Amino acid sequence: MDRFNGIPAIGFGTYPLAGAEAERCVAAALEEGIRHIDTAQMYGNERQVGSAIAASGIARSDIFLVTKVDPSNLGAGRFAESVKRSVDDLGTMPDLLLIHWPPPDGDVDGAVERLLVAGERGMARHLGVSNFSPRLMRRAQHLAGGKLICNQVEFHPLLDQSAVLATARELGMVLTAYSPLARGKCMEEKVVQEIAGRHKRPASEVVLRWITQQGVAAIPMTRQRANAASNLRAMEFTLTDAEMEAIAGLRSHSLRLINPSWMRSWD
């Protein structure tokens, strides 16, 4: 499996899975060969994710585990304690700890400082951010002295994230794509279906290959074991430059699925 900054190219997202379903789906993904699992404090399923990993029989060093600090926990009085709870719930230290959203109070400097402290205290192997705009990425990476390896963002063909991707490359970071299939909307596009037909591949694999071929990791969520296996097969073929450009043309849809009220600006 290809890795970008050490992050496996294809992973498994766990939102909005909860309870026994979360544990079952993570277990199935691991059994199918996925080794990149993504969760967050906000999802309320860290304990189930950790249980599935512990029960898998797979060496912990073979699994890349990501979790994220909730916006409500970014302040000085809550950050460290929330990460300790995450480690306890997961039953293990995450490989990558992210700030889930830019701080609602605007204190990016403080949040990044606390993230760095968590790393220095051995609470995560790697550090990064999520949902940071190019401007905030530059600020955060400067404050971190280049230690941030990732920005996790909504990324799919129906949304133009070229500026975020260019900034990540400039800063030595990689992107991880959540909602990489745009909740199935990408597969409905005629151009995607035509390319899938030429390659004799499901449309979902074509979309995931378009993402990973740009050096972006992807964490699709699925409740179906067969889909988890199919997602991994997206790394088995290559799209032509013309196919890549044709899919990129879909960005004119400007479809942003996740846009919370507290996010001040994406610019």
| Catalytic residue annotation | 43
Amino acid identity at 264: R
Region of 125 on the Ramachandran plot (φ > 0 left; ψ -120 to 50 alpha; else beta): alpha
**Bridge-partner residues for 68, per DSSP?**
98
d(C-alpha 63, C-alpha 41), whole Å: 19
CA angle, 30 then 58 then 180, to 5°:
30
Q: What SS3 state is found at 154?
A: strand
Instruction: Retrieve residue 172's tokens.
Output: 């030595």
Give the DSSP H or E segment for 129.
Answer: strand 126-130
Tell me, what amino acid is at 232? L
Amino acid at 145: G
Q: Which helix (H) or strand (E) holds 66?
A: strand 64-69
Closest CA to 5 of 123, 148, 209: 148
Which residues are CB-neighbours of 210 under 8 A, at least 6 positions away?
157, 239, 243, 244, 247, 248
Q: Do 217 and 234 contact (CB within 8 A), yes or no?
A: no
